Structure 1
Amino acid sequence: MALLPATASAGSAAPATLPAAARTDAPYPDPLPITGQQIIHDPTVLRLKSGQYVAYSTGGVIGARLSRDLRHWDDAGNAFGEPPSWWYEYNGTGDPWAPDLSYRAGRYWLYYAVSSWGTNHSAIGVATSPSGLPGTWTDHGKVFTSETTDSWNAIDPSIIQADGRLWMTFGSYWTGIRMVELDPRTGKARAGATVHHLATRPDAPYAVEGPSLVKHGRYYYLFASYDACCAGVNSTYKIRVGRSTAITGPYTDSTGKPLLDGGGDLLLAGHGRYVGTGGESVFRTRGQDWLAYHYYDADDSGTPKLGLNRLGWTKNGWPEVF
């Protein structure tokens, strides 16, 4: 979901009868028309207790947008007034990537990554807020880190609660998508936590990243961005998905192919002016699931903008966008 290393060495609705992977001839739906501040990258969206929607994103010190109706968005500054000092251990500009927003235990939790392009010397941090609004966040430091000796990259966090436990998926390129268990009290990785492997590609640079994990029915669904981000109209990002009955996997697509072997049903790809769809997250509001993502607007010099589509589920339990 982030402005990610390009290589590892340098990462309800009406049902349908066929899974996403089989709908190769169907056109992809355009995103919901929106107004106001549309520029965004790697959005995470949530409806706050105040009734407002907030979208946090890569850019600035975690850029913020606010909306009352998901259709008109206003610039709301940044989550933080200035970068916490420890961010500079991971890049020289204190630039955070790919936030994830959730609500738990009476507080809003904002996870994010700090890194530099082309390295897995990276860290995921966490902050909390009573309201979820920009300017109200207290940073709590590092959640999980990776170094150049590791075979994974600690960026692109996504949080999910499952069976009374708290989990974080993360990852980019290197060996793809990983998962660790968190301590629900601190929101940080448990000491000595196993690093589970959820998805990868068969060949270098293992171009899969930006996970988002949700539960629907009896399955956990792993959404991820495949191929190349962050190249404007030359981006090839697309969103794929697999599922599992167990939070730690194995995840497979609708043909049974494991995501650890490069599987994944194609959910959304670029079409028309909407190039490089990815950096996705899934949220639920007023009984409706939504997919949030960025695309590069081919009619506006490749500017990254907010995409929102309703997310439905087929009778076979696979997601599709509307």
Structure 2
Amino acid sequence: MDASVHDPSVIKVDGTFYVFGSHLAAAKSTDLMNWTKIADGVNAANPLFNNVVTSLADTFAWAQVTDLWAPDVVKLADGKFYHYYCACKGDSPRSALGLAVADKVEGPYVNKQILLKSGNWGGPGEDGVTIYDALTMPNVVDPNTFFDQQGKLWMIYGSYSGGIFILEMDTSTGLQKPGQGYGKHLIGGNHSRIEGAYVLYSPQSKYYYMFTSFGGLDANGAYNMRVSRSLNPDGPYLDAKGNDMANVKSNPALPLFDDATIAPFGQKIMGNHQFALAAGETGTPLGYVSPGHNSAYYEPSTGQYFLIFHTRFPGTGELHQIRVHEMFINADGWPVVAPFRYAPLSKNATTLSAEVTAADAAGTYKMINHGKDISTTIKASQEVVLAANGTVSGSASGTWKHDGSNKITISLGATGTFVGVLSRQWNTNASAFVVTWTAQSVDGVSIWGARTGN
């Protein structure tokens, strides 16, 4: 069962995954495959609040709109659930970000207070002194609140405008610690199209990963997901070439929403793409348009990583749904995303090994090259052959080698050297689990391969 929740932010509670998204939508799943919507719409009937319209009246008054954008829910030590909500006027960064609390994850949430405001034109920003400037100060939306390895609580937030910022929070109240203003700037500015930040820590690599979406969210917006990393929760966050994301922002001399200046930076993990149907495959060819605004989850019991996001689809306009893909940490310490939506190998009729040997990996694939651009172009798959002798031929040429433990390196000459992970993923067009790889270069380009035959 599929559900539509834009900007899905995940939290796991007693074995059930919940996602909370824009327009006060929420859904739940026990298997990360089948989603049941439990709330939607900013109206008095939404069960997440006892009449959200009156509960958050001060927020809606400030934002001059009765709507809510991307939220986040976190459980604090008191066992209660803290719902960080935000409202934005939309055509300007006049926004409010606040906090509501509930005893149960499904609510009802009781409003606590507004934490941050933006868009106070002609008046001061959050430091109470400096006049609000949308080129350098944030639009206070898209919160993600997370604990670091020392037990400190942080909130990362922001969209377009002055970029993405981070604040240290009080672990007992859920409010920001005083005296920080808007906090520390991490990425973006000058109205660059960067938003939807989410931080995930990997106990495997010991890095904090900051996911962001570049581009615009609609079908023509070229949304794509990127990641950078840091040894510290509050940065600096770097890409594989060592670029500090704090320097990544649009050029104010160029027209508004200049993408060209920001496109070279960060590790692009997914953008517009579509797999062609191979011989014997049926159904609508799998592909995504403007996938983004993700959250992410690490499952300690299995050591698995999951990317949870919304996406649109080729040829279906603004229809969007939740998708979940497994992620892996490659040999270079970067997340790489499986090419197909998640399904456990246990779903197969016969037992399948999670191990993909060198012999298993040799064969014909349809390959997606996600590139590094911010563009509405749908990247179509091309056929490549990974031969048993270690050569790559077809639409790309080079060499490949199996590095043991499901690791693979694919060298494609000037296109780059891609460090990746092999796995078996469910290809709905083939109605089968197939061998796949997902790999990434130091340039921040990701390639995917899905096995199509011998």
Q: Deviations over 1:269-315 (max 9, x none)?
A: 12124111111111233532211111112343331211211121112
Hey, what's the Cα distance between the residues in 1 that align with 2:234 and 2:34?
A: 37
Do the aligned partners of 1:199 and 1:261 also contact (CA within 8 Å) in 2? yes
Do the aligned partners of 1:235 and 1:275 also contact (CA within 8 Å) in 2? no
Hey, what's the Cα distance between the residues in 1 that align with 2:85 and 2:208?
A: 22
* TM-score with structure 1 setting the length: 0.81
- Gap change, CA 1:310 and 1:298, over 3 Å in 2: same
SS of residue paired to 2:75: strand
Do the aligned partners of 2:63 and 2:94 also contact (CA within 8 Å) in 1? no
1:254 maps to what in 2? 240
Structure number with greater Rg is 2
SS of residue paired to 1:260: helix
Do the aligned partners of 1:144 and 1:188 also contact (CA within 8 Å) in 2? no
Hey, what's the Cα distance between the residues in 1 that align with 2:309 and 2:225?
A: 9
2:36 maps to what in 1? 74
1:295 maps to what in 2? 311
Hey, what's the Cα distance between the residues in 1 that align with 2:200 and 2:67?
A: 27
Residue 92 of structure 1: how far off its partner (Å)? 4.0
Equivalent residue in structure 2 for 1:318, among 334, 341, 351: 334
2:155 maps to what in 1? 168
SS of residue paired to 2:58: helix
Residue 87 of structure 1: how far off its partner (Å)? 2.3
1:141 maps to what in 2? 113
Give the partner amino acid of 1:260: A
SS of residue paired to 2:63: coil
Give the partner amino acid of 1:114: A
Are positions 1:306 and 2:322 aligned together? yes
Equivalent residue in structure 1 for 2:298, among 278, 284, 289: 284
Are positions 1:39 and 2:4 aligned together? yes
Q: Which has the higher contact order (CA 8 A, sep 6+)?
A: 1
Q: How does 1:1-322 map to 2 (within 5 A)?
A: 35-36=1-2, 38-49=3-14, 51-59=15-23, 62-77=24-39, 78=46, 79-83=48-52, 84=55, 85-105=57-77, 106-133=79-106, 135-148=107-120, 149-150=132-133, 151-162=137-148, 163-193=150-180, 195-200=183-188, 204-216=190-202, 217-229=205-217, 231=218, 233-262=219-248, 263-272=265-274, 273-285=287-299, 286-287=301-302, 288-322=304-338
Do the aligned partners of 1:48 and 1:131 also contact (CA within 8 Å) in 2? no
Hey, what's the Cα distance between the residues in 1 that align with 2:309 and 2:13?
A: 19
2:429 maps to what in 1? none
Residue 53 of structure 1: how far off its partner (Å)? 2.0
- Structure 1 consecutive aligned stretches of length 4 or more whose deviation exceeds 4 Å: none
Residue 266 of structure 1: how far off its partner (Å)? 0.5
SS of residue paired to 2:112: strand
Hey, what's the Cα distance between the residues in 2 that align with 1:124 and 1:214?
A: 22
Hey, what's the Cα distance between the residues in 2 that align with 1:154 and 1:63?
A: 19
Aligned residues: 279
Residue 186 of structure 1: how far off its partner (Å)? 1.5
SS of residue paired to 1:223: strand
2:363 maps to what in 1? none
Do the aligned partners of 2:50 and 2:108 also contact (CA within 8 Å) in 1? no
Do the aligned partners of 1:280 and 1:291 also contact (CA within 8 Å) in 2? yes
Residue 132 of structure 1: how far off its partner (Å)? 0.5
Do the aligned partners of 1:223 and 1:242 also contact (CA within 8 Å) in 2? yes
1:23 maps to what in 2? none
Hey, what's the Cα distance between the residues in 2 that align with 1:81 and 1:67?
A: 24
Residue 81 of structure 1: how far off its partner (Å)? 4.1
Hey, what's the Cα distance between the residues in 2 that align with 1:141 and 1:63?
A: 21
Gaps of 5+ in 1: 1-34
Residue 130 of structure 1: how far off its partner (Å)? 2.3
Gaps of 5+ in 2: 40-45, 121-131, 249-264, 275-286, 339-454
Q: Deviations over 1:87-131 (max 9, x none)?
A: 222334421110112222112222121111122221211122222
Do the aligned partners of 1:100 and 1:110 also contact (CA within 8 Å) in 2? yes
Hey, what's the Cα distance between the residues in 2 that align with 1:132 and 1:308?
A: 21
Hey, what's the Cα distance between the residues in 1 that align with 2:308 and 2:167?
A: 24
SS of residue paired to 1:72: coil
Do the aligned partners of 2:33 and 2:324 also contact (CA within 8 Å) in 1? no
2:432 maps to what in 1? none
Hey, what's the Cα distance between the residues in 1 that align with 2:188 and 2:63?
A: 26
- Gap change, CA 1:102 and 1:284, over 3 Å in 2: farther
Q: Percent of pairs identical after alignment?
A: 28
Do the aligned partners of 2:59 and 2:114 also contact (CA within 8 Å) in 1? no
Q: Deviations over 1:63-107 (max 9, x none)?
A: 121222222212212422422222222334421110112222112
Give the partner amino acid of 1:224: T
Do the aligned partners of 2:187 and 2:245 also contact (CA within 8 Å) in 1? yes
* TM-score with structure 2 setting the length: 0.58
Hey, what's the Cα distance between the residues in 2 that align with 1:81 and 1:130?
A: 14
